[in-house]
Amino acid sequence: MKYIPIVASLLLAGCAAPAANTSPPGPGSSQPAPGQTPLQKLAADLKDLKSKFNNDLAQLRKNTLADLTAAKSNADSQNPPDKVSSMCYAQLITNINALPALPTSGTGAASPGPILLFQEARDVTRQADADDLKIACGPLFLDEVDDARKLFDDITKIVALFPK
């Protein structure tokens, strides 16, 4: 998952001309509340965005883990067990459980900003691109590619039977 477009949108949002806003300043508004600086408004908006992202990520994680657990059980219950896919599903479960949630408050004394959001999103993508996942799921991917190649070979042989 790449979050560069989100971060770029947040960074470039300040470069656009402000749209006419008839809503009063405050939460959910594009204008800072009275006594709130634009930087404080950005920090509050980023905190809300990360909180919403964490909620969505938690729901996605829950649904994905249930699906992977069922798939692993299915692979293990085959006779003989499907060791190739079982190994991949087990590693996916491990990696998904290890995904960090984005903290909703800044680290240190500084308020969270777009660069911290970028780094936290990068932490998530680096976990998803781990070598152990590539090693565990590589055989499953190659097995599926080989099946697709065999299917393409069969289709080619059938097409070759027809005169031009």
Say if 14 falls within a structural domain.
no
Q: Which of 123, 130, 121 is nearest to 53 (CA)?
A: 121
In DSSP notation, 10-57 reads HHHHTTSPPPP--SPSSTTSSSPPTT--HHHHHHHHHHHHHHHHHHHH
Rounded distance, CA 37 to CA 26, Å?
Answer: 12
Rounded distance, CA 116 to CA 112, Å?
Answer: 6
Helix (H) or strand (E) holding 61: helix 38-77
Say if 104 falls within a structural domain.
yes
Say if 153 falls within a structural domain.
no
Question: Of 3-7, 10-14, 111-115, which has the strongest mean pLDDT?
Answer: 111-115
Number of domain units in the chain? 1
Q: Decide if 43 contacts 113 (C-beta within 8 A).
A: yes
Percent over 70 (pLDDT), the chain: 71
- pLDDT tens digits, 139-164: 998 988 888 899 888 898 888 888 77
Say if 97 falls within a structural domain.
yes
Say if 146 falls within a structural domain.
no
Say if 29 falls within a structural domain.
no
Identify the domain containing residue 52 by its residue range: 4-8+39-136
- pLDDT tens digits, 51-73: 887 788 788 889 999 999 999 99
Tell me what pLDDT residue 71 has.
95
Say if 143 falls within a structural domain.
no
Q: Decide if 102 contacts 71 (C-beta within 8 A).
A: no
